């Protein structure tokens, strides 16, 4: 059962819009973090993608530092750092610095996906295939280094310490869209977030595996289950469907191997074939889409069925104001603890 007052969080991927410079997407993400803090969202996470024309948040650790200067309360984090590209020690150092910048507000979500194609993954780390195989051990070491705990007995790097020292430690999450991530999270006693927006059908099985095999840890004696879904709320169902056209076209393009910026809703499905319109209808039916009450009701039903402690929302729209409006509507429907307006 979900607790009353289900917390909502946000995943922002820095999506690009046609005709708008890519750097604007980064600045929009920073602005969105401050906006969502005012609305009462619990966390604001940013993703890591490489070599993409439609999602340009390639350095979450830098984005988190920038967002920390614009916010005071909301937790900030990665969803996630693609760990096979990097040394666990370097990631631990980055996030200990972030913890020093924003004490008690830093989340470190890690995944093993490449966040790009094979050429980009090789360019980031030619030994990435070996790092993928070491993912569970690397997460284990990362947790120790971020929390200033000793590595496992006999570890060849047991004498290595990470600075800066901080009173607290980032909260580490494992992310996944298959049955692999929940097994790692369960074995290490870590919170787990399933990417339902990637694999709609796999949520129930992944969370069942996570809970069944969970091994309590000092920081998390009980499993902490989250999921991230695509949701878009508007003032009316028709308006939500209109705004969603940009996302529908983007998903269709991705199926064809084209990762292009979002098109305006009016252009997204102009001249679409019957098959393309049917695909858009199918995507809309699977998304959490509609006016405030209907969108919120579907989200609550999903969270209740999955037994989630928290729900993360991903929203793409051509106009950033449509994304902001969606988050405002959902914050109202879920009675999030909004901040009072700040003095000018």
- Give tens-digit pLDDT for 111-136: 999 888 899 999 999 998 999 999 99
Report the alpha-carbon distance of residue 44 to residue 168 in Å, rounded: 19
Residue 1 lies in a domain: no
Write out the residue range of the structural domain in which residue 129 sits.
8-333
Residues 314 and 228 sit within 8 Å (Cβ to Cβ):
yes
Residue 343 lies in a domain: no
Q: pLDDT grade, residue 3 (50/70/90)? A: very low
Residues 210 and 186 sit within 8 Å (Cβ to Cβ):
yes
Report the alpha-carbon distance of residue 226 to residue 77 in Å, rounded: 14
Residues 179 and 206 sit within 8 Å (Cβ to Cβ):
yes
CA 332 distance to own-chain centroid: 21
Residue 3 lies in a domain: no
Backbone Cα Rg of the chain: 20
306 by Cβ neighbours in 10 Å (0-12 / 13-18 / 19+) ranks as buried
In the chain, what percentage of residues exceed pLDDT 90? 86
Tell me: pLDDT of 325 over 70.
yes
Tell me: pLDDT of 237 over 60.
yes
Residues paired with residue 110 on neighbouring β-strands, in sequence order: 81, 174
Residue 338 lies in a domain: no
Listed residue (310, 344, 315) closest to 328, CA to CA: 315
Residue 2 lies in a domain: no
Q: pLDDT grade, residue 96 (50/70/90)? A: very high
Q: pLDDT grade, residue 4 (50/70/90)? A: low
Higher-pLDDT residue of 156, 343: 156
Tell me: pLDDT of 340 over 80.
no
Tell me: pLDDT of 342 over 70.
no
Residue 340 lies in a domain: no
Averaged pLDDT, 308-334 = 98
Tell me: pLDDT of 137 over 80.
yes
67 by Cβ neighbours in 10 Å (0-12 / 13-18 / 19+) ranks as buried
Report the alpha-carbon distance of residue 300 to residue 303 in Å, rounded: 5
Residue 284 lies in a domain: yes
Residue 344 lies in a domain: no
Q: pLDDT grade, residue 272 (50/70/90)? A: confident
Residues 84 and 128 sit within 8 Å (Cβ to Cβ):
yes
Report the alpha-carbon distance of residue 159 to residue 20 in Å, rounded: 49
Tell me: pLDDT of 165 over 80.
yes
Q: What CATH number corresponds to the domain at position 87?
A: 3.20.20.30
| Residue 238 CB coordination number (10 Å) | 11
Report the alpha-carbon distance of residue 27 to residue 23 in Å, rounded: 7
Q: Domain total for the chain? A: 1
């Amino acid at each position: 059962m979900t607790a009353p007052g289900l917390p909502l969080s946000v995943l922002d991927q820095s999506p690009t819009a046609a005709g708008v410079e890519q750097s604007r997407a980064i600045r929009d993400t920073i602005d969105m973090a401050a906006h969502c803090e005012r609305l009462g969202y619990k966390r604001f996470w940013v993703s890591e993608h490489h070599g993409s024309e439609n999602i340009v948040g390639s350095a979450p650790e830098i984005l988190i530092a920038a967002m920390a200067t614009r916010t005071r309360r909301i937790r900030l984090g990665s969803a996630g750092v693609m760990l096979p590209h990097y040394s666990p020690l370097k990631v631990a150092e980055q996030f200990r610095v972030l913890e020093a910048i924003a004490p008690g507000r830093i989340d470190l979500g890690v995944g093993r996906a490449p966040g790009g194609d094979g050429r980009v993954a090789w360019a980031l780390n030619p030994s990435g295939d070996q790092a993928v195989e070491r993912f569970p051990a690397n997460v284990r070491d990362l947790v120790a280094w971020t929390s200033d705990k000793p590595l496992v007995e006999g570890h060849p790097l047991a004498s290595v310490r990470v600075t800066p020292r901080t009173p607290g430690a980032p909260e580490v999450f494992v992310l996944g869209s298959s049955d692999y991530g929940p097994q790692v999270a369960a074995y290490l006693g870590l919170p787990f977030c399933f990417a339902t927006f990637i694999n709609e059908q796999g949520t129930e099985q992944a969370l069942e595996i996570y809970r069944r095999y969970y091994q309590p840890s000092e920081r998390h004696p009980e499993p902490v289950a989250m999921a991230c879904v695509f949701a878009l709320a508007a003032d009316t169902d028709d308006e939500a469907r209109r705004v969603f056209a940009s996302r529908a076209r983007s998903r269709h393009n991705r199926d064809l191997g084209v990762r292009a910026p979002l098109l305006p809703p009016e252009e997204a499905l102009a001249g679409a074939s019957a098959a393309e319109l049917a695909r858009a209808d199918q995507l809309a039916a699977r998304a959490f889409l509609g006016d405030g009450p209907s969108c919120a009701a579907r989200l609550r039903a999903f969270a209740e069925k999955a037994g989630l402690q928290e729900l993360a929302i991903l929203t793409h729209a051509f106009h950033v104001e449509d994304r902001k409006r969606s988050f405002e509507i959902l914050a109202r429907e879920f009675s999030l603890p909004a901040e009072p307006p700040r003095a000018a």
